[in-house]
Structure 1
């Protein structure tokens, strides 16, 4: 039953507040626009529940919705390279990652390649060259590793990907970003996982966090969006908070 209106008060809807319509592609392209493309930049893109869970039933996808997926496509459209950890590739897939035709045309009109590159960070090189990550790739993938990684695995992956060696006994993330920038890949969008986020945070290499706040309470023992980093303080500045139905798209920049 509808509630009676109080003179002078805002209307109250029996089923809850009136939510603004979700933002469209053009609005999100403007909201996430880059101030320039020459400055090297690392953006993190994650989704989390209201109680801080980074996954639902072991995967992040269950926390998102159509607005979260649209924001992710916009962020990929703006990126030079999408960076992920090897564990995320094994769990989430990433076979055939590509932006749509409209987004590819938007990129080409601005002098960019039609598709962003896709890069995976792996110390052990425990990656299957026959997986969809490589066989369904729309651009030649990049594998980032270190000099002490298994030589046989490296040779096998060099058949299906560009292998970048950054560091001697472990992946040097700062050197990795320098080597990517040398290839013209300065706008880095990192989509996880939490351990890669933690390593980038510990190395003081995170410039932005684009977080979709999912309207869910998950409980359980799901991890946070950052794992493996020591306790530290990295102050962030809120750039926007965009309601998208019950989900909120948050963008934070280094203070």
Structure 2
């Protein structure tokens, strides 16, 4: 793996894990949750090869994935992605945990799941393997028995006011927990909702050097389209053809 910046005038050396963390560090002094989204897709826009993203990931994409987690207060994800990808808790090596502590972050970020129906299982790997309690943001109408079972298993459950979980309520819940550096890892429904509500501050898209065809979903889908102009930030590339572009939503 040889990841280099394409947006720099200088000939940058290969970026190692530490350099990626520094490059993608969140700005200081945040007063509200800043939502960064990370996705990988094929050249022709597919986000899965079958049911999961595993065949699309490359060494460079994995390095960026872990670097973005290393600088986040929380990992935000939809319940469908938790189920499809058999999500485990966020962790990190002892070195990563030391680095986070040295930079004012909790050693391990919690995984925050959005699901109006409380659609995760108490015996899922996300719950049973967690060293930091996962958080579930769910609706007022979620099944009380399911919620109680999750709470008994150690999940911190936050209920919203209505029958749906809105983006505003997600952001309010994150702010209330002091989780301002937010990394959203999908899925397409959650990203579509966040885009529709103009709640995405940054979108990191890795293009895997692979064309797939087929009928796979795109990285975001919603009932209606929403135009969200963004400017290009960092552009990184690996020798294997992987391309990683950061898109930033300016809020002037």
Map 1:62-141; keep pairs closer than 5 Å: 62-141=55-134
- Structure 2 distance, partners of 1:107, 1:223, is 34
The answer (yes or no) to whether the contact 1:23–1:67 under 8 Å persists in 2 is: no
Q: Counterpart of 1:106 in 2: which secondary structure?
A: helix
Structure 1 residue 167: deviation in Å? 3.1
The answer as to 2:30 corresponding to 1:38 is yes
Structure 1 residue 21: deviation in Å? 7.5
Q: Counterpart of 1:64 in 2: which secondary structure?
A: coil
- Structure 2 distance, partners of 1:96, 1:178, is 22
Which consecutive unaligned segments of at least 5 residues does structure 1 have? Answer: 1-19
Structure 1 residue 26: deviation in Å? 2.1
Map 1:1-255; keep pairs closer than 5 Å: 23-39=15-31, 40-159=33-152, 160-245=154-239, 246-255=241-250
150 and 222 in structure 1: CA distance in 2 versus 1, 3 angstrom threshold: same
- Structure 2 distance, partners of 1:130, 1:230, is 36
Q: Counterpart of 1:164 in 2: which secondary structure?
A: strand
Number of residues paired by the alignment? 236
- Structure 2 distance, partners of 1:217, 1:37, is 41
Q: Which of 1 and 2 has greater Rg?
A: 1
Between 214-223 and 126-135, report the one with greater CA deviation: 126-135
97 and 76 in structure 1: CA distance in 2 versus 1, 3 angstrom threshold: same
Structure 1-normalised TM-score?
0.88
- Structure 1 distance, partners of 2:28, 2:44, is 35
**Alpha-carbon RMSD:** 1.5
Q: Counterpart of 2:234 in 1: which secondary structure?
A: strand
- Structure 2 distance, partners of 1:29, 1:96, is 20
Structure 1 residue 37: deviation in Å? 5.0
Which consecutive unaligned segments of at least 5 residues does structure 2 have? Answer: 1-11
- Structure 2 distance, partners of 1:96, 1:180, is 17
- Structure 2 distance, partners of 1:158, 1:76, is 25
- Structure 2 distance, partners of 1:144, 1:181, is 13
Structure 1 residue 22: deviation in Å? 5.3
The answer (yes or no) to whether the contact 2:138–2:158 under 8 Å persists in 1 is: yes
Q: Deviation per CA, 1:67-112, whole angstroms, max 9, x where unpaired?
A: 1111011101111110111110101112243122211111101222
The answer (yes or no) to whether the contact 1:117–1:139 under 8 Å persists in 2 is: yes
